[in-house]
Structure 1
């Protein structure tokens, strides 16, 4: 495996307990079961394969053995304002992981949290919440293509093995991602500013014309910026701005 990098000034080190399954329906579903039972202290849930993996908008997520399927389950007393930062923190943790094994990869993040290299998807992130007040919990699920690039994800896909031109140690990659996520989450809990600035360095399509699907409609404009709550600022052809908090971005003329 390539040399691991550090986040900030300290070496990465994961600290949360880990619960491992050879096969499970979905790591996020298991996290929600645990949360319903009141068990949502910091923890990782990992599976070798999933029988009912899910992505955003309830899309099926292919789960072959050899890829990463993991969910971070934790309480968030900071409330929804902090919860909104988590998808961006998770995406940056994936970026950190990609660059740790393929430093030259032109990795980008398609708003809000699809990590891609040359417009090919390498990861998917699904963040779900529940509870309220000081019992608000977050389940941040991440799938990373390590050994295999599934061909049924609705877009081109790639894998870390392909990007690094080597057969990576799955456990080492998983440990690195867990460490990176914990570090990025700590960054996000303090303020969104640092996460936002780092995310924008990798933003796919910024200052380009994009099409954003919002519900059943499409809005075209220039992806101008990321708002302080993580919303996308779209500059419309008439010069006005539209702030979009939920949607799916596509680059005009590209996948």
Structure 2
């Protein structure tokens, strides 16, 4: 593990995010990484299950430095770009795209997801990362399906943490703009019609931009620009 990061490796956990959250509450330091070979109760956004058999990557990073409310969204993009850079280093020809707000796609199918969790009035943030290496659900894709690479989850995690630190340091030095630029260059469905569901409300329009806070900007069907900070995108 690179300098500034401390790894806790488990054969199996219910959820790396749950373990990391409990550790954060007890004072675990910035850069603590919780890693499991399997999860029995992995979670995605909106309470969805994250199927977690052995062979894929399941990890959570505890962040304390700069983890204020505005910057939580920034860490989604920092993490996505780090995951993307890690996968592209394995094979530069991958058709890799970032789906707002927290998915990484290859060939228009999900290969990785990110789940950020925190609590009110705390100084910590937990970033959960799942990457399909050997297997995936039918709607998703794994590295083994798209390229003939034999890489362990632990080796991939080391590369991911290295890339995460590089992107994070650039964000600290230069702000969100270069991170947004890297993400937007591979943004999924830019200029296309999308739907964003927030609770029971549905916004429909053209994916126009990502603003300086990481909100998605859509040109709605009633000819107005709307910025949304969260939601579920579908087509």
TM-score grouping bracket, smaller chain normalisation: over 0.9
Equivalents in 1 of 2:10, 2:61: separation in Å? 14
Contiguous gaps of at least 5 residues in structure 2: none
- Aligned residue number for residue 150 of structure 1: 137
SS of residue matched to 1:99: helix
- Aligned residue number for residue 10 of structure 1: none
- Aligned residue number for residue 166 of structure 1: 149
- Aligned residue number for residue 68 of structure 1: 57
Superposed displacement of residue 107, structure 1: 0.3
Equivalents in 1 of 2:231, 2:21: separation in Å? 24
* Count of paired positions: 233
Equivalents in 1 of 2:158, 2:27: separation in Å? 26
- Aligned residue number for residue 140 of structure 1: 127
Equivalents in 1 of 2:67, 2:115: separation in Å? 20
Equivalents in 2 of 1:55, 1:80: separation in Å? 20
Q: Structure 1 residues 22 and 192, CA, compared in 2 at 3 Å: closer, same or farther?
A: same
Where has structure 1 moved over 3 Å in runs of 4 or more? none
SS of residue matched to 2:83: helix
SS of residue matched to 2:92: coil
Once the two structures are superposed, residues 228-251 of structure 1 have per-residue CA deviations (whole angstroms, 9 ceiling, x without a partner) of: 100011101232111111111123
Equivalents in 1 of 2:123, 2:88: separation in Å? 32
Q: Structure 1 residues 38 and 131, CA, compared in 2 at 3 Å: closer, same or farther?
A: farther
Which of 16, 30, 40 is equivalent to 2:19?
30
- The CA RMSD measured in Å over matched residues stands at 1.5
Superposed displacement of residue 150, structure 1: 2.4
Please say if residues 76 and 82 of structure 1, whose CA atoms lie closer than 8 Å, have aligned partners that are also in contact.
Answer: no
Superposed displacement of residue 131, structure 1: 5.5
- Aligned residue number for residue 180 of structure 2: 196
Q: Which residues of 2 match residues 113-128 of structure 1 at below 5 A?
A: 113-128=102-117
Equivalents in 2 of 1:175, 1:246: separation in Å? 30
Equivalents in 1 of 2:160, 2:188: separation in Å? 21
- Aligned residue number for residue 176 of structure 1: 159
Q: Which residues of 2 match residues 25-104 of structure 1 at below 5 A?
A: 25-77=14-66, 79-104=68-93
Equivalents in 2 of 1:43, 1:169: separation in Å? 20
Once the two structures are superposed, residues 37-61 of structure 1 have per-residue CA deviations (whole angstroms, 9 ceiling, x without a partner) of: 1223321110000111111111111
Please say if residues 76 and 116 of structure 2, whose CA atoms lie closer than 8 Å, have aligned partners that are also in contact.
Answer: yes
Equivalents in 2 of 1:78, 1:211: separation in Å? 30
- Aligned residue number for residue 3 of structure 1: none
Which of 100, 106, 110 is equivalent to 1:111?
100
Equivalents in 1 of 2:27, 2:154: separation in Å? 29
Equivalents in 1 of 2:9, 2:34: separation in Å? 6
Contiguous gaps of at least 5 residues in structure 1: 1-12
SS of residue matched to 1:85: helix
Superposed displacement of residue 164, structure 1: 2.0
Equivalents in 1 of 2:184, 2:167: separation in Å? 15
